[in-house]
Structure formats: C-alpha cells, structure tokens
Amino acid sequence: MATFKINGEEHSLDVEPEMPLLWVLRDELGMIGTKFGCGIASCGACTVHVNGNAVRSCVLPVSAVEGQEVTTIEGLAESSVAFYEPGALTAVQQAWIDYQVPQCGYCQSGMIMAVSSLLTVNPNPTDAEIDASINNVCRCGSYPRVRKAIRSIASA
Amino acid sequence: MKISRRRFILSSAAAGGGVLIGYAATRPSRHRVANDTLAQGEERFLTSFLKIEPDNKVIVYVNHSEMGQGSHTALAMMAADELDAAWEDVAVEQAPATDLYATGDMAVGFAGEFDVPAFLMPLIEASAMKIAQIGNLQTTGGSASIRFTGQMGMRVAGAAARQMLIQCASEQWAVPASECTTALGYVQHNASGQSLSYGELADAAAALEPPAEPVLKDRSQFNIMGKAISRVDIPAKVDGSAFYGLDYKTDDMLFAAIRLAPVFGTKLVSVDASEALKRRGVQRVIELEDSVAVVADNYWRAKEALRLVKTEFESSDNDDISSADIAAQFDAELESSGGSEDFELGDAGGNLELAEDQIEASYRVPYLAHAPMEPMNCTVHLHDGIGEVWTSTQDPLAVRGRVASLAGLGENDVTHHPSYLGGGFGRRLPFNWNVIDHATKIAMEFSVPVKTVFSREDDMQQDYYRPAVTSNFKAGLNGDGKVIAWQNRYTGPVQTPGAAHIPYDIANQSIRYVDGNTHVPVAAWRSVDHSQQTFFTESFIDELAHRAGTNPFQFRMELLHEHPRHQEVLRVAAEAAGYGRNLPPGHALGLAVQESFGSICAEVAEVSIDANGRPIIHKVTAAIDCGWAVNPDTAEAQIESGIIFGLTAAMYGEITIENGRVAQNNFPDYEMVRMATSPEIDVHIVESGESLGGLGEPATPPIAAAVTNAIYILTGQRIRELPISRHDFSQGSSLAGG
C-alpha cells in the first residue's frame, strides 16, 4: 500500500512499490496533466514536485514518495497562490500566457513545474543558471519564450 | 477560371436558433449525407464554418488540427474579422471528423466541378491549392491551413454572413443596405441611430439567400487579422487541463505495450509469453503478424510484462544492412544511372566542359525521426457495432476511415474524438498508420477501450523517417567568377517536387534524381524535401561564392536579380544580423535563403567555436516574406519553432541503420536542442502584401546551411555531411568518429 499526498489530498493505493509515480498518477488516478515523454528522465515532460522540489516522475518509484507531499500541475496554483480561488494562476503560469510560450503544449506541464521549482530556490537566476537547471525537451522550440517569461518574473 | 453557376456559399437555420454559414464545394455523392445532417428544406448544405447564436455568440468550426501552430486561433480570426464580430464573442470548436469537413474535397470541388470563383483567385497561391487537393481528407499539413481554408473558407463565410445580417437589418428598418455599417457584432444605421445585434438578426438571416460573391475586406479594413491576438488554446496548456490523445482514460480501460519487428517489413515467428502472463494486471498477450502486445490494466504493467516475452522474428535480406550500405547503394545508383529529369535549362554538360573552373562536391544527410513530444498512441473502443477512436492526428477523417476498414465497420459508424496534438511534424499524417493499425487490431480482441502506446524507444525505431539523401554537385565558373553551369544529381524519393530547384540566375542547369529506395519507411518531415535540399543547395552556392572570391551575401544578391522578394528578405536578415559590420572576436555569420510553401525565408546564423571545438550558435536572425501575417505573434513563434527544429536536426539529428534496424533508442542518443543550446532568435516579418505563404515549415530549411556556412568561415571546414556533431573542430579538419 502506497500512502502519500497529492495536491494536499491523502491517497492510499494498492500498487507495486516500484511502479513509477508517473503511471500511478496517469493510469491509476487518471490525473492527465503530468505527461509521459521518454520514460528515462531525459525530457522532463513528467516533472512534478515532491516536497516542493522538481523531480522526474517517470523513473521515481512510488515507494520513494511514501509519506511525502506530491504537487502536480493541477495543484500548482493552489499550493502556491495566496488566497487561492479556482482558476487562479501562479506568476509562472500567467507569464506563460503573457509571453504565449506553449505551442503544442505537451511538454509545458513539466516545463512549468521545473521553472516554478527553480524560481522558488533562486528567484533571480542568471542565464547560465537557467540553462543548467532547465534542460526539459520542447520539440516545438519554445525555449526563447521560456527564457523571456522567466526573465519577466525574475525582474518583477 | 470561369465563375461557377452553382452556388457555393450556403446558409441554414441552426439548431437552437441562429444561422449557420458554410460551403458547398464537395463531391455530389456526399450531398445526401450532408443534407440529412445539417441542411433544411432545399438548402444544399455542406461544410459549416460559423454559427451565430441568438445571444450574439459566434462559434467558428475549425477543420484543422491544433498542434501548436496556432491555426485554431488564426482561422477563427479570419472568420471573425470578415464578420465584424467582437473577438470576445468568438469561440472555436474543433469540427467533427465527417465528410462535411473534408479539406481535400473543398479543394477538389473547386478545382473540378465548381472552379475557384474569380473573386477568390487573387487570394490563393497555387501551391496552397495543390497541397489542399493532395491532402485529400481532413489534413493539416503543407503549411496550408491559413492560406487555403482560411482564405477560401473562413473569410468567405464571415463576409457572406456579414452581408446577410446587413440585408436583414436594412429590410427591418426599411433603409438602404448601403447606409448600414457593422462593428463588434452589431449592424448599425447611423442616420436613424438604430442598432441590432447579430444574435437578434441571426434567425431571420438564416432564411436569406447568401451572396454568391461576398465582398472581402481590403487589408486596410482589418480589425482582427494582422493583430497579435492571444491563442485560444494556451490557457489550457498552462494548468494541465489540455486534452491530448494519450490522455483518454476510463475505469475499465486496458493498456497495450507492443514489440514490433525490429527489421522493417519482417514477421513474427514465435512467442513465449508464459512469464508475462503471470504478472499482475496482465490480461492477455496478443500476437499480430509483425508484433506482439501485452494488454494489462496499466501501461507500466503492460510494458514491464512485455520485457518477459520471448519473441523470434523472421530473418530477412535486410538483416545485414547498415547506413554505410545505404550510402554505398546511393552512390552506386548515382554512378550508374543518368536519373530522371527534375529540371533542365540550357546545356549544363557542355558549359561544364567550357568552364574555366570546375567545382565538385558531394553532400549527404541521414534519416531523421520526427520524435513529437507526445509518444504515438491510439485508443480504440469497439462496441455495439460502432467504433470510437482517440488519437492525436493530423487527419481525423483519414483515421476514421482507416479504423473503420480494419474493424469491418462503415465509416459513419466510427467516431474520432478530437484532441490537441502533442506535436505532429508529419508523423501524424495519413499513411503513417502503424500505431493506428496495431491499436485497432488489438482492440478487436476486446469490448472495452484499449489504449496502445508506443514507448519513446518504439517511437524512435518504428517511425516513417525523413529520407536520407545524397546530392552530388558540379558547377562551372567562367574567368570572371560567374557561374555558367549547375549540375545536381540526387537520390529520391521526391516528395516535394521543386525542392531542389534554385532561384539563382544560372543559364545552364541540369537537376536529376535517382530512386533512392531502401527498406526504411519514409514520410514527410517538417518542410519535407526542403530540409535536405536547402542544406545542399545553399551550402554549394556558398562554396561557389567563396571560390569566386565574392562575399556570399553579394554573390547571392547578384544571382537573385530576378527575385526581388528573395533579395529583400536576404537584405533585411543580413542588415538586422549586422552582416558586414564588426562582430565579437571569433564570431562569424553564415546565411541561407529558401522559398517553400509559398513563403521566402532568409536566415543568418551567428556562430563561434568554443574551447572544446564545439560550435556555439549565438543568434539566428530570420526574415520571412509570407505575404502578410494573420497573427504576427504566432507567425514569429512558428519561425522560432521552425529554426529550432531545423537546428536540432543540423546539430544532432541522425537515425542510423545497423543490422537492418534503427540504432537509436531515446533522447540521449537522438539529442535535441535544449535551453542551454538554444540561440537567441530575432524574427522580421517582411509584408510584401503578396498571397499568403505558409508559416509552419518555411523556417526549418535554411538553418542548417546558415550554420555550416558560418562554420566554414570560422574553420575553413566545409560541412558536407550532417549532423554537425559528427565533426570535430578542435584542430583542423577531421571527421570525428565515423
């Protein structure tokens, strides 16, 4: 039995301890916001937060989050926006709209989770720090806009 | 073109009130279905592009797939602007996968039975029409959505509706229609101060005859087109709610992981699934002709169990084939055959003999995978004599037909449920059927929905690849350094006729091709043949410039004197990039220009070589003449996207064949440009006002040559084989690895 919190809600699930968190979220719980991209922690499409830190859920056994707090894209705003109301967005999500970052959008859940974690730790990253921290794959090439959107928040 | 006597713009009352405006260019055989579904009375109603509801809401039905290119937004902008709707009142709906929305039929109808009405001719560029005709079903590809469906469908429907609403209002007010104006969803009569909303007029408008030739706006009259409107699909893409094909989920659903024959075209011989069947959640192991699938109650369980399945596939003549063999095959074909004619002008052979200076060069590019971020997948649910399909596709109507034929159902018994696409790039076009076929055959064994998922490794190894191509050039310069002969012999298959043609004024040209067929399946890949051919032609013309001792910008400008649009984008890009001015030490600029899909795109790459001998792409400056831009911000985004897609291919992209199969597995050995390697991009849209050109693809072709042309200036090494990562620039000119 795996017991942990997802977006503030306690879950107890009868799944194999080695099942990656990604497939627990998608196939057991039907939470589709977290995406499958490569299955080997190379592309970052599956990025979620565990206790606030960005991790790639496609290789993270569910046993590793026992008793931990998992946040997915669906719960990102609620976990970080003060006086949250449904529909509210984080500064990162709003910047993603303002700078029209997503194209196909498939990688953007992971991208937003990775950037949100970076900005929590380092609110004003240099370009080199962005490059070192954000190595998610975006096949549409939204990188120039990702950088602009990060800078807009960092300088705000 | 003659003006058809038959009406092609049609209107009808909408269910629940309001008016539907659409389009009647389709095969007569489909009229009955159309009329049963949508039309009332004697109307011959087909594709419906927009609906105006009593509350003034405007619904635009878009029959193209949204894969990030922004066409849902741009197409709706085109309809709404001609309608003079308020953008806030406009909603976009994905049109269903039915015959009513067959893009190909619209084009075929116009080309054959209906002809393009004369008033529309200036709007349509010939290649857009051709692509729409080839894209027979409901295809999104060829950078054609805006320039074909937008121009001929959306704008015409919007303009027709506006005229009908004016007519309604003028009759109610008993004033001349010419005194009525429209703005933001209202018809107004300024003299009397009267005003009615479109919603209030919509029911009455449905009874009117649509105008045969609606008057379209001049660009100076646009209120919505030409503005950087925020994309309608983006809010759902920042909070995890956007729905992709892979996201369909029900409680009773099953998941299939599949192992396909590793050597293309071979069959399954034997299977031992005894261990897999013992695993938790595994329901069945399905054997197909060329593959085996484990079906379980969770994709991870299916995939883990698949590892335990022992399989034997038949051997074939291709088992020993490698990329080197394929390259040798291409060389032999080029050597032994004169090839088929692509383009001949003057006497290239004779002038090569006469030339003062003869230059030869051989270029090569590898196979490439599409690797969209959403791995290939398809959910099929066959139940109660019907079929339902969830899959991200560039052609829902074609998918419907494919699933129906495999499952033995009628086309109208199968429903495709729409979704966003997690990337397409050609992978999700019709004929690249493997995931659809396997998902359908597996689902035929069950009565619950079955989701078949290709892992990233499956995706990499079971794609339909961009063709590997070899291109051999010869050119002759006279004593003044002028090019008097251009000869190109390249390997096919030719998917985009004309891609190897050059805009340069060279009097003697001979361009021919040989088959280039291998056992590796190939298909369209973003920008199709242009991505390979532009690397070849724009590199070789650069070689000639250096050989002639002229700077590559000036050399091109002189040879482009009959192509002012090419000259202008090249000038704009070079100027903005700082061409000819002082650059940081160790930096160089390379340039390339190519026309594709009706747009002309010039790119200038600013490159240096780092201490480890690796090229760093600092900045790419692009100038594109796409006629004009419906949405300048999404246009810029597509140029950025096209450049990075092409840069990934140029820098790293390589699918190699070993023992008849693909050697690459996943992103680590099919690397991508990422944040750290993504250049600054500066886009300039040059609005010539000519016919609309495409935007999804034209930025991809020039980038490889722009980068390698800069590397030549920096190192003296001419890159004639991609990817660039195979070359070593740390000292001198050796090819790294093999």
Q: What is the CATH number of the domain that holds B653?
A: 3.30.365.10
Is A40 in contact with B423 (Cβ distance < 8 A)? no
- Residue B324 makes CB contacts below 8 A (sequence gap 6+) with none
Same structural domain, B50 and B146: yes
Is A100 in contact with B634 (Cβ distance < 8 A)? yes
B307 inside 8 A of chain A by CB: no
B181 inside 8 A of chain A by CB: no
Query: Among A16, A27, A34, A153, which would you mutate to test the B interface (most chain B Cβ atoms within 10 Å of its Cβ)?
Result: A27
B666 inside 8 A of chain A by CB: yes
Closest chain B residue to the Cα of A86, Cα to Cα: B239
Same structural domain, B407 and B533: no
- Token pair listed for B264: 């293309």
* Residue B460 counted as domain residue: no
Query: Among B297, B300, B648, which would you mutate to test the A interface (most chain A Cβ atoms within 10 Å of its Cβ)?
Result: B300
CA angle B40, B120, B699 (to 5 degrees): 115
Q: Per-residue confidence at B611, pLDDT binned at 50, 70, 90?
A: very high
**Cα–Cα separations (whole angstroms), residue B92 to B45, B116, B139, B164:** 20, 26, 18, 22
Name which of B236, B237, B249 is nearest A30 (Cβ-Cβ). B249
Q: What is the mean pLDDT of residues B7-13?
A: 69
pLDDT number for residue B736: 38
Same structural domain, B514 and B634: yes
Q: Which of B163, B134, B164, B160 lies closest to B148, judged by CA?
A: B134
Q: Assess contact for B724 and B615: CB atoms under 8 A.
A: yes
- Token pair listed for A146: 């990702």
Name which of B238, B672, B681 is nearest A139 (Cβ-Cβ). B672
CA distance A133 to chain B (A): 9
User: Taking CB atoms and an 8 Å cut-off, how many pairs form between chains A and B?
Assistant: 185
Q: For B99-113, B227-241, B487-501, B669-683, which range has the lowest pLDDT when averaged over its residues?
A: B99-113
What span, in angstroms and rounded, lies between the C-alpha atoms of A136 and A115?
Answer: 10
Q: Assess contact for B48 and B61: CB atoms under 8 A.
A: yes
Q: What is the mean pLDDT of residues B662-682?
A: 97
- Token pair listed for B126: 């010939």
- Token pair listed for A50: 């565990």
Longest dimension (CA), chain B: 85
Q: Assess contact for B685 and B328: CB atoms under 8 A.
A: no
Q: Is B276 helix (H, G, I), strand (E, B) or coil?
A: helix
- Residue B269 makes CB contacts below 8 A (sequence gap 6+) with B312, B313, B314
Higher pLDDT, B43 or A4: A4
Q: Give chain A positions within 8 Å (CB) of B371.
A: 139
- Token pair listed for B344: 């001949």
In this structure, what DSSP letter does residue B367 have? B
Q: For B329-338, B606-615, B726-735, which range has the lowest pLDDT when averaged over its residues?
A: B726-735
Q: Is A66 helix (H, G, I), strand (E, B) or coil?
A: coil
pLDDT tens, residue by residue, B154-180: 898 899 899 999 999 999 999 999 999
Q: Per-residue confidence at B5, pLDDT binned at 50, 70, 90?
A: very low
Q: Is A56 helix (H, G, I), strand (E, B) or coil?
A: strand
pLDDT tens, residue by residue, B274-320: 999 999 999 999 999 999 999 999 999 999 999 999 999 999 999 99
What span, in angstroms and rounded, lies between the C-alpha atoms of B695 and B700?
Answer: 10
Q: Which of B126, B158, B312, B140 lies closest to B224, judged by CA?
A: B158
pLDDT tens, residue by residue, B390-445: 999 998 988 999 999 999 999 899 999 999 999 999 999 988 999 999 999 999 99
Domain count within chain B? 3
Of 3.40.50.150, 3.30.300.340, 3.10.20.30, 2.40.50.1020, the CATH number of A2-75 is 3.10.20.30
Last residue of a domain, one of B453, B488, B522: B453
Higher pLDDT, B99 or B613: B613
Is A104 in contact with B637 (Cβ distance < 8 A)? no
Q: Assess contact for B571 and B557: CB atoms under 8 A.
A: yes
What span, in angstroms and rounded, lies between the C-alpha atoms of B719 and B365?
Answer: 11
pLDDT number for residue A82: 84
pLDDT tens, residue by residue, B212-267: 788 999 999 999 999 999 999 999 999 999 999 999 999 999 999 999 999 999 99
Q: For B203-207, B469-473, B621-625, which range has the lowest pLDDT when averaged over its residues?
A: B203-207
Q: Give chain A positions within 8 Å (CB) of B641.
A: 103, 140-142
Same structural domain, B551 and B638: yes
Residue at token pair 């597995």? B665
Is A32 in contact with B423 (Cβ distance < 8 A)? no
pLDDT number for residue B476: 98
How high does pLDDT run on average in chain B? 90
Q: Chain B 51-70, CB below 8 Å of chain A: which residues?
A: 67-70
B372 inside 8 A of chain A by CB: yes
Is A34 in contact with B374 (Cβ distance < 8 A)? no
Higher pLDDT, B17 or B446: B446
Q: What is the mean pLDDT of residues A126-146?
A: 97
Same structural domain, B358 and B427: no
Q: Assess contact for B596 and B690: CB atoms under 8 A.
A: no
Last residue of a domain, one of B424, B453, B482: B453
Higher pLDDT, A57 or B430: A57
Q: What percent of chain B lies above the pLDDT cut of 90? A: 79
Is B300 in contact with A72 (Cβ distance < 8 A)? no
Q: What is the mean pLDDT of residues B23-52?
A: 50
Last residue of a domain, one of B423, B453, B483: B453
Name which of A27, A43, A76 is nearest B667 (Cβ-Cβ). A43
Name which of A36, A100, A112 is nearest B246 (Cβ-Cβ). A36
Q: Parallel, antiparallel, or unpaired for β B414-417 and B386-390?
A: parallel
What span, in angstroms and rounded, lies between the C-alpha atoms of A22 and B298?
Answer: 11
Domain A77-154 adopts which CATH fold? DNA polymerase; domain 1 (1.10.150)
What span, in angstroms and rounded, lies between the C-alpha atoms of B506 and B544?
Answer: 12
Q: What is the mean pLDDT of residues B645-659?
A: 98
SS (H, E, C) chain A: CEEEEECCEEEEECCCCCCEHHHHHHHHCCCCCCCCCCCCCCCCCCEEEECCEEEECCCCEHHHHCCCEEECHHHHHHHHCCCCCCCCCCHHHHHHHHCCCCCCCCCHHHHHHHHHHHHHHCCCCCHHHHHHHCCCCCCCCCHHHHHHHHHHHHCC
Q: What is the ipTM of this complex?
A: 0.98
Is B372 in contact with A142 (Cβ distance < 8 A)? no
Q: Per-residue confidence at B118, pLDDT binned at 50, 70, 90?
A: low
Q: What is the mean pLDDT of residues B594-598?
A: 95
Q: Assess contact for B287 and B256: CB atoms under 8 A.
A: no
Name which of A33, A36, A100 is nearest B234 (Cβ-Cβ). A100
- Token pair listed for B485: 């002969």
Task: Tell me if domain A2-75 and domain A77-154 are identical in fold.
Answer: no
- Residue B157 makes CB contacts below 8 A (sequence gap 6+) with B9, B21, B22, B23, B49, B50, B79, B82
Name which of B67, B240, B246 is nearest A104 (Cβ-Cβ). B67
Structural domain boundaries enclosing B275:
247-315+376-453
Q: Assess contact for B293 and B437: CB atoms under 8 A.
A: no
pLDDT number for residue B210: 82
pLDDT number for residue B122: 57
Q: Per-residue confidence at B1, pLDDT binned at 50, 70, 90?
A: very low
pLDDT number for residue B22: 74
Q: Assess contact for B176 and B170: CB atoms under 8 A.
A: yes
**Cα–Cα separations (whole angstroms), residue B191 to B165, B169, B170, B181, B383:** 18, 14, 12, 11, 62
Same structural domain, B480 and B568: yes
pLDDT number for residue B38: 46
pLDDT tens, residue by residue, B261-285: 999 999 999 999 999 999 999 999 9
Structural domain spans, chain A: 2-75, 77-154
Same structural domain, B448 and B588: no
pLDDT over 70 (residue B129): no
How high does pLDDT run on average in chain A? 96
Higher pLDDT, B642 or B10: B642
Q: Which residues of B83-109 are buried (b: 16+ CB within 10 A; e: fewer)?
A: bbbbbebbebebbbbbbbbbbbbbbbb
* Residue B731 counted as domain residue: no
Same structural domain, B478 and B449: no
Query: Is the bond leading into B176 cis (omega within 30 degrees of zero)?
Result: no
Is A145 in contact with B637 (Cβ distance < 8 A)? yes
Q: Per-residue confidence at A72, pLDDT binned at 50, 70, 90?
A: very high
- Token pair listed for B419: 């979704």
Same structural domain, B357 and B398: no
pLDDT tens, residue by residue, B186-206: 999 999 999 999 999 999 988
Q: Is B532 helix (H, G, I), strand (E, B) or coil?
A: helix
Same structural domain, B485 and B512: yes
